[in-house]
């Protein structure tokens, strides 16, 4: 009887302390290294998770320590798979397997020969030790053996562990090796194991969401880029045959398989030269490239500790545009009420308001993003000069300065600025903290010729095949691609550069497809419409469309502001290089025809007015997810690059457009497309003007009922919030566990003041 009581308690205990339920098929890279000992990269190992099912693939050196860091209980793991039996892939299997026997759950172990022999030997060699450990719970080896399933895999076939379908196939390596595919619903993850080019892998990985593959040929940071790659030619010492892929082979297999994301792992060095490695992979593969690190999960999970200097729980918080005024399509107006024309524009919603700290030493910290900035940019420089400055400077006592990416740089823009053609009126950056020069008229420049370059190069070419770098113009409020070299002389162009340091995760998205027409970004905390609206609309129509969307039963959709929409641009993609919009493949985008009749992708409206021109209220910001085209000398061309930010008139007769405007002949469509957004953890209702609601008891009761109903329909369920917030798995949400809006409103919602939020308290609202 004691034995069975213990087993019941053990079962409940394992449910209580197991890693949080995961409703998405997830792969966590437990170890991203190689046989070479590396304190930053443990030996090869990947944990596959779906709900309560956990499967560990390979178990190299350091696996146990990293499982502990990942809060994964070995006793709760359901399956152990081997890609092959090299020591760096199975070094820690023995202690892990013995620990798993103590858990009381069913265990599957599988891999190529001699998997069954190896397990039999472990059970034999450590029989007394295992028996001693089991005796503490009044059990024996004979009690646990019925729960074991041990198999040598042959050929290629499928089987299940829990709800996860596992398909395997042999791949070429120095010994017998299997690649594995894991499928749940429409989600799929493939792990290649060590291999050389194998025709079987693209078949197994066809249309997979993620292919986790041997990183052979990856370039170490600091190595000469044209030198032979040390791990391109790793050979089996006995056969002299190549044992690992190179980048050409891995990228070719990813291309043939049409995988959405290529994840490199199994590095034999610490730091990767991502730029050089990506350049090689891009010769074949156009999808998303992810450089694996220990404890990285795909799809990437929200990490509340990744941005310790920020007041947000997200690693990529979007700083608000600072817009507080309201506009129609022709003029400034009073604040529109809910449901009124032009409701839902930028100023109707308030995000992370800009906040800075001046350290008095030439540095400014953004209190929202955690980024520290150079206050004064100095003189214009070439990119090479700027890179050298970043490497050599010790500004503020720090030596880790860098040139910002375009997403980092754009975090500083504020759309309270105003410009009239080439004349600056009010700058698009907070001049109380940052020094922003104007173009030098004495040298023949316009005032707007004071662009700030980023480190983000355009993957395509602009104008007439110009190499192009993206920059932000804080004088006229735009993102454009600017040629690296002067077209006439060939000399390097010079721009301003504002150096940055800190929060290296800023600008990196963590997308998860929710399977209901929405995509969540757990870096920014924003949920997006997966497919755009499919038809062009003027600005007022776009606002109205977003405000009335009920996608996935949420009623709080809105038209994104300029900085929100720019956050989902993927600057590694373009129509020229990937035959796609400049957006992650998890999204879907309508194809349109450009004025020449060629396939292109739309401009997308934002809710932000762009104050420029004779009638500054008449223009709104858009982001070009296709080429930012213009017509010059009667020739249509990509003048500023996919991912540029410009503006269009808010209204006009559709038959009169497209038109062309300005020195680069910017294409104006006016009827642009929409991709709606909402906050993932939005517990607030859409803003309501209090004066419009009669203060009667019946109205109060109706409002409370509507609030409860709306929360049930639009807010995450309490069970779902438990999944994401209940870190100690006690079935309750404490203040230290609460995130986002719940954390902000915790004291208000905790009615009985016991330090925890219940489901009933979650759905209550005080009036």
Residue 413 has pLDDT above 50, yes or no: yes
Q: What's the gap between Cα 83 and its chain centre?
A: 29
Average pLDDT over every residue of 569-581: 95
pLDDT at 734: 77
Answer whether residue 356 shows pLDDT above 70. Answer: yes
Residues 380 and 436 in one domain: yes
Give the mean model confidence (pLDDT) for residues 626-638: 95
One-character DSSP codes across 585-654: TTSB---EE-TTS-EE--EEEEEEE--BSSSGGGEEEEEESS--EEEETTEEEESS-TT-EEEEES---G
Lowest mean pLDDT segment, chosen from 106-120, 381-395, 566-580, 753-767 = 753-767
Pick the closest to residue 435 from 475, 390, 482, 391 (CA basis): 475
Mean pLDDT over residues 125-131, rounded? 93
In this structure, are strands 261-265 and 210-214 parallel, antiparallel, or unpaired? parallel
Of residues 269 and 733, more confidently modeled: 269
Q: Read out DSSP for 178-231?
A: EEEEEEETTEEEEE--S-S--THHHHHTTT-SEEEEE-TTPPBTTS-TTSPPTT
Q: Are residues 597 and 613 in the same domain?
A: yes
Q: Helix or strand or coil: residue 674? A: coil
Note whether residue 330 is domain-resident: no
Inside any domain, residue 458: yes
Burial code (b: 16+ CB inside 10 Å, e: under 16) for 310-328 equals bebbbbbbbbbbbbeebbb
Q: Would you state the structure tokens that stand for residue 435, as one six-digit string?
A: 């020094």
Band of pLDDT at residue 748, cut at 50, 70 and 90? low
pLDDT per position as a tens digit, 167-203: 999 999 999 999 999 999 989 999 999 999 999 999 9
* Poorest-pLDDT segment among 179-188, 204-213, 744-753: 744-753
Helices 93-101 and 115-125: crossing angle in degrees, nearest 10, is 70
Model pLDDT, residue 36: 87
Q: What pLDDT score was predicted for residue 1?
A: 41
Spatial CA neighbour of 74 closest among 46, 95, 48: 95
For 674, counting Cβ atoms within 10 Å of its Cβ (0-12 exposed, 13-18 middle, 19+ buried), the class is buried
- Whether 339 has a pLDDT exceeding 60, the answer reads yes
Q: Looking at the predicted structure, is the pLDDT value of residue 599 above 80? A: yes
Examine the fold and report which residue of 679, 706, 725 is the final residue of a domain before the chain moves on.
679
Mean pLDDT, residues 27-46 taken together: 93
Pairing of strands 418-420, 677-679: unpaired
pLDDT band of residue 720 (cuts 50, 70, 90) is: low
Residue 562 and residue 445: Cα distance in Å, rounded?
28
Selection from 426, 561, 419, 406 nearest residue 476 by Cα: 419
281 and 407 share one domain: no
Residue 728 has pLDDT above 70, yes or no: no
- pTM value? 0.61
Supply the pLDDT for residue 112: 96
CA 313 to chain centre: 15
Looking at residue 318, the DSSP 8-state letter turns out to be P
CATH code of the domain in which 145 resides? 3.60.15.10
- pLDDT score at 437: 96
Q: Bigger pLDDT: 242 or 394?
A: 394
Same domain, 7 and 131: yes
Name the token pair of 334: 């009073």
Would you say residue 141 lies in a domain? yes
Q: What is the pLDDT of residue 299?
A: 81
- Is the domain of 401 the same as that of 421? yes
How many CA atoms does the CB half-sphere of 64 hold within 13 Å? 13
pLDDT for 693: 31
Residue 221 confidence (pLDDT) = 79
Average pLDDT of the segment spanning 581-587: 94
- Weakest-pLDDT range from 209-223, 387-401, 524-538, 672-686: 672-686
Domain span at residue 669 reads 507-679
Residue 727: pLDDT band (50, 70, 90) is low
pLDDT for the residue numbered 538: 97
Question: Is 638 among the domain residues?
Answer: yes
* Number of domains into which the chain is organized: 4
What whole-number percentage of the chain has pLDDT above 90? 70
Judge if 512 and 496 occupy the same domain: no
Mean pLDDT of 706-712: 40
Burial class (CB in 10 A: 0-12, 13-18, 19+), 642: buried
Query: With b meaning 16 or more CB within 10 Å and e meaning fewer, what string describes 352-374?
Result: bebebeeeeeebbbbbbbbbbbb
DSSP string, 4-20: HHHHHHHHHHHHHHSPP
Query: Does some domain include residue 334?
Result: no
Task: Kindly provide the residue ranges of all beta strands, DSSP E only, lying in 415-474, ordered along the sequence.
Answer: 418-420, 423-426, 452-457, 468-473
The answer to whether position 335 is within a domain reads no
* pLDDT tens column, 103-125: 888 999 999 999 999 999 999 99
Tokens of 111: 């891999």
407 & 481 share domain: yes
Q: Do 276 and 423 lie in a common domain?
A: no
Q: Let me know whether 59 and 154 are in one domain.
A: yes
Model confidence at 233, pLDDT cuts 50, 70, 90, reads: very low
Closest by Cα among 657, 528, 504, 646 to 583 = 528
Helices (H) and strands (E) in the chain, counts: 20, 40
Q: Using an 8 Å Cβ cutoff, are 650 and 538 in contact? A: yes
Kindly state the average pLDDT of the residues 472-487.
95
Backbone φ, ψ for residue 367 (5° rounding): -75, -10
- Strand locations in 458-513, DSSP E? 468-473, 478-483, 500-501, 511-513
47 and 176, same structural domain? yes
Among the listed residues 678, 761, 686, the one whose alpha carbon sits nearest the alpha carbon of residue 721: 761
CA neighbours within 13 Å on the CB side: how many for 627?
26
Top pLDDT among 602 and 314 is at: 602
Q: What is the mean pLDDT of residues 57-61?
A: 96
- pLDDT attached to residue 715: 42
Shared-domain flag, residues 228 and 370:
no
What pLDDT is recorded for position 616? 94
Higher pLDDT: 299 or 26? It is 26
Boundary-marking domain end, from 486, 501, 516: 501
Is pLDDT at 714 greater than 90 in this prediction? no
Please say whether the dihedral angle defined by the alpha carbons of residues 98, 103, 104 and 109, taken in this order, is positive or negative: negative
The span from the first CA to the last CA of the chain, in angstroms, equals: 55
- Tell me if 321 is assigned to some domain: no
Burial class (CB in 10 A: 0-12, 13-18, 19+), 534: exposed
Tell me: do 516 and 461 sit in the same domain.
Answer: no
In this predicted structure, what is the pLDDT of residue 309? 36
Quick one: which of 498, 493, 452, 450 has its CA closest to 472? 452
Rounded distance, CA 733 to CA 438, Å?
52
Would you mind telling me the total number of residues written for the chain in this entry? Answer: 767
C-alpha of 311 from chain center: 19
Q: Is residue 389 one of the residues assigned to a domain?
A: yes
Domain end among 501, 525, 553? 501
How high is the mean pLDDT of the chain? 86
pLDDT of residue 722: 63
């Amino acid at each position: 009887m004691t034995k069975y009581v213990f087993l019941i308690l053990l079962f409940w205990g394992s449910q209580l302390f197991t890693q949080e339920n995961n409703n998405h098929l997830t792969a966590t890279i437990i170890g991203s290294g190689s046989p070479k000992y590396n304190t930053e990269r443990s030996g090869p190992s990947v944990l596959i998770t779906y709900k309560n099912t956990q499967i560990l693939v390979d178990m190299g050196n350091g696996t146990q320590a990293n499982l502990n860091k990942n809060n994964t209980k070995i006793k709760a793991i359901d399956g152990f798979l081997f890609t092959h039996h090299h020591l760096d892939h199975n070094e820690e299997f023995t202690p892990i397997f013995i620990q798993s026997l103590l858990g009381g759950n069913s265990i599957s172990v599988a891999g190529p020969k001699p998997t069954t022999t190896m397990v039999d030997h472990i059970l034999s060699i450590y029989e007394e030790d295992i028996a001693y450990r089991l005796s503490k719970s009044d059990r024996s080896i004979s009690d646990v053996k019925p729960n074991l399933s041990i198999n040598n895999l042959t050929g290629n076939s499928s089987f299940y562990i829990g709800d996860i379908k596992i398909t395997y196939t042999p791949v070429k390596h120095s010994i017998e090796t299997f690649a594995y595919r894991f499928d749940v619903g429409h989600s799929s993850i493939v792990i290649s194991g060590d291999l050389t080019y194998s025709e079987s892998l693209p078949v197994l990985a066809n249309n997979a969401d993620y292919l986790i593959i041997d990183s052979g040929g990856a370039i170490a940071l600091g190595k000469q880029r044209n030198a032979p790659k040390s791990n391109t030619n790793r050979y089996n010492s006995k056969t002299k045959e190549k044992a690992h892929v190179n980048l050409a082979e891995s990228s070719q297999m990813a291309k043939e398989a049409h995988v959405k994301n290529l994840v490199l792992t199994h590095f034999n060095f610490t730091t990767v030269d991502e730029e050089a490695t990506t350049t090689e992979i891009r010769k074949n593969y156009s999808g998303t490239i992810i450089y694996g690190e220990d404890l990285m999960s795909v799809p990437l999970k929200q990490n509340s500790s990744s941005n310790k200097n920020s007041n947000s729980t997200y690693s990529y918080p979007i700083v608000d545009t600072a817009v507080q005024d309201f506009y129609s399509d022709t003029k400034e107006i009073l604040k529109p009420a809910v449901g009124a024309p032009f409701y839902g524009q930028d100023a109707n919603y308030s995000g992370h308001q800009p906040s800075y700290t001046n350290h008095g030493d030439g540095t400014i910290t953004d209190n929202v993003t955690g980024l520290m900035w150079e206050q004064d940019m100095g003189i214009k420089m070439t990119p090479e000069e700027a890179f050298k400055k970043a490497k050599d400077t010790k500004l503020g006592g720090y030596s880790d300065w860098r040139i910002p990416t375009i997403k980092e740089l754009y975090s500083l823009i504020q759309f309270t600025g105003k410009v009239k053609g080439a004349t600056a009126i009010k700058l698009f950056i907070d001049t109380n903290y940052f020094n922003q020069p104007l173009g030098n008229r004495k040298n023949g420049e316009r005032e707007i010729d004071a662009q700030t370059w980023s480190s983000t190069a355009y993957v395509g070419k602009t104008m007439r095949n110009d190499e192009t770098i993206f920059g932000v113009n804080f004088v006229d409020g735009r993102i454009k691609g600017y040629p690296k070299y002067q077209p006439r002389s060939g000399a390097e162009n010079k721009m301003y550069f504002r150096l940055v340091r800190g929060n290296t995760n800023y600008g990196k998205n963590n997308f998860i497809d929710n399977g209901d027409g929405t995509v969540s970004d757990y870096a920014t905390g924003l949920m997006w419409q997966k497919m755009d609206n499919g038809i062009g609309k003027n600005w007022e129509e776009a606002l109205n469309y977003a405000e009335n969307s009920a996608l996935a039963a949420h009623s709080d959709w809105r038209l994104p502001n300029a900085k929100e929409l720019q956050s989902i641009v993927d600057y590694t993609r373009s129509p020229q290089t990937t035959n796609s919009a400049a957006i992650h493949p998890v999204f879907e985008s309508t194809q349109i025809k450009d004025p020449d009749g060629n396939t292109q992708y739309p401009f997308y409206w934002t809710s932000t007015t762009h104050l420029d021109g004779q009638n500054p209220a008449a223009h709104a910001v858009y982001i070009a997810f296709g080429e930012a085209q213009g017509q010059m000398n009667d020739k249509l061309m990509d003048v500023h690059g996919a991912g540029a930010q410009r503006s269009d008139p808010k209204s006009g007769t559709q038959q009169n457009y497209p038109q062309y405007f300005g020195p680069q002949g910017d294409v104006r469509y006016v009827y642009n497309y929409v991709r709606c957004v909402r906050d993932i953890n939005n517990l607030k209702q859409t803003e309501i003007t209090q004066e419009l609601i009669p203060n009667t008891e019946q109205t109060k009761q109706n409002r409370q009922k509507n609030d409860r109903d709306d929360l049930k329909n639009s807010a995450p369920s309490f069970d779902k919030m438990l999944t994401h917030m209940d870190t100690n798995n006690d079935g309750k949400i404490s203040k230290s566990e609460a995130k986002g809006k719940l954390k902000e409103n915790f004291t208000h919602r905790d009615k009985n003041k016991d330090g925890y939020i219940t489901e009933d308290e979650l759905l209550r609202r005080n009036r």
